[in-house]
Amino acid sequence: MEKTTPPAPRCAPLDALRALAVLLVLGRHFPEPPPGAALPAWLAVWQRGGWIGVDLFFVLSGFLVSGLLFREYRRFGEIRYGHFLARRGFKIYPAFYVMFGAVLLFAAHMGRAFVGWPVVLSELFFVQNYGPALFPHTWSLAVEEHFYLLLPLLLLAVRGEKSAPFARLPRVFLTVALLALAARLATAQMLDFRLKTQLFPTHLRIDSLLFGVLLSWATHFAPAALERVWMRFRWPFAVAAVALVAPAFCLEIGSGWYLHTVGLAGFYFAGGVMLMFALRWKSAWRPLAFIGTYSYSIYLWHIPVRFFGLGWLPREAAPLTRAAAYLALSIVVGIVAAWLVERPFLALRDRLFPTRSQPTRPS
């Protein structure tokens, strides 16, 4: 019988980072204030820069998902592609398809016109970052899905010698990062700014996920070198991270070329710095970690909540009241959806496809 283990224990600081990422994104999508009103200044800043929460999600996903494969390789000397995709599928598909189906049924009940089969098929097959889309947020799921399909193949291609596994990953990351940056710069030169063309395509965002993979590789296979670099430069890295994310909260996306070209590289670097600090933080982070545990379902449901869940509020409700109701309802609906859909399917996944990654607690 194949040797398997229970799922790895959760890391509270990383769950807190998930919560920070999803709260940033929720802020980006604050409901529009009534005519003649405006969001308070601090909410407006949150809304302006909240979109970079996706970059933090990307770095975390790259780090955590590749960590599963690295631990599997260290334990078994192999990576099982089908097993990995099956476990990812149980995590991603049920929660998404239930949300998608519920929205279509509710829209039909409300008398809304059918969105059309091209939109439905684009969403169902996770190509909505290139094709037509129903939602403004599921493009990031498409990027991550493409990453899941490609990552095991990449690792199998570069695994190298057992004495120094995956040693070519730093060069692979550097090559991909330069190509992605060049593609973003070329796109900015050739096309007028649109979210669909400048921010959503996988080939323009894959370096964020691979940066997480690079940090995971160093954590698993070169921990001493990583620790030396981190202890020597952690505070300069922290200052650089603050400087790199600040423009997102000061400038409107699309107001210039920087944010969606070079800026994206700065955002994933800052996300990596936050990740490294979190791995070494001993605090429990309980309130934020609780929210982060349900971040996927909260992320899925916050747009339906925004469009369908605030009808009970008076039209003249203050912007702060609307924002608070939207945040609270998004979190509550996400948690309930996780308990009803996500968790049962994860339990089924662990029975049918037990994890092959050894449980470890980040140091």
Q: Is 34 domain-assigned?
A: no
103 pLDDT higher than 60? yes
Q: Which pLDDT score, from 0 to 100, does residue 311 have? A: 86
The pLDDT value recorded for residue 2 is 37
Of the candidates 206, 264, 266, which has an alpha carbon nearest to the alpha carbon of residue 66?
206
pLDDT-above-90 percentage for the chain? 85
Q: What is the mean pLDDT of residues 192-201?
A: 96
* pLDDT of 101: 97
Question: Rounded distance, CA 292 to CA 277, Å?
Answer: 17
Residue 203, pLDDT > 90, answer yes
Instruction: Note the pLDDT of residue 283.
Output: 73
Average pLDDT value for the chain: 93
Tens of pLDDT, residues 133-191: 999 999 999 999 999 999 999 999 999 888 889 999 999 999 999 999 999 999 999 99
CA 221 from centroid of its chain's CA atoms: 24
Residue 80 lies in a domain: yes
Instruction: Give one DSSP letter per residue of 190-220, joined into a string.
Output: HS---HHHHTS-HHHHHHHHHHHHHHHHHHH
Q: Is residue 6 part of a domain?
A: no
Return the pLDDT at 160.
86
Say if 105 falls within a structural domain: yes
Contact of 122 with 133, CB cutoff 8 Å: yes
For residue 361, the model assigns a pLDDT of 39
The structural domain count of the chain equals 1
Per-residue pLDDT, 286: 84
Range of the structural domain that residue 328 is part of:
12-28+39-352
Mean per-residue pLDDT, 194-221: 97
| pLDDT confidence of residue 7 | 44
Is 7 a domain residue? Answer: no
Q: Based on the number of CB atoms within 10 Å of its own CB, is 262 exposed (0-12), middle (13-18) or buried (19 or more)? A: middle
Mean pLDDT to the nearest integer, 273-286: 87
Average pLDDT, stretch 18-25?
Answer: 98
Is 313 part of any domain?
Answer: yes
Q: For residues 53 and 199, what is the distance between their CA atoms, to the nearest angstrom?
A: 13
Residue 122 has pLDDT above 70, yes or no: yes
pLDDT reading at 102 higher than 70: yes
Classify residue 76: in a domain, yes or no. Answer: yes
Whether 359 maps to a domain, the answer reads: no
Which residues are CB-neighbours of 268 under 8 A, at least 6 positions away? 55, 58, 59, 207, 208, 211, 212
Res. 132: pLDDT tops 80 = yes
Average pLDDT over residues 124-141: 97
In this structure, of 12-16, 152-156, 295-299, the range with the lowest mean pLDDT score is: 12-16
Closest to 212 measured CA to CA, from 164, 275, 264: 275
Distance, in Å, from the CA atom of 289 to the CA atom of 168, rounded to the nearest integer, reads: 34
Q: For residue range 317-352, what is the model confidence (pLDDT) as tens digits?
A: 899 999 999 999 999 999 999 999 999 999 999 999
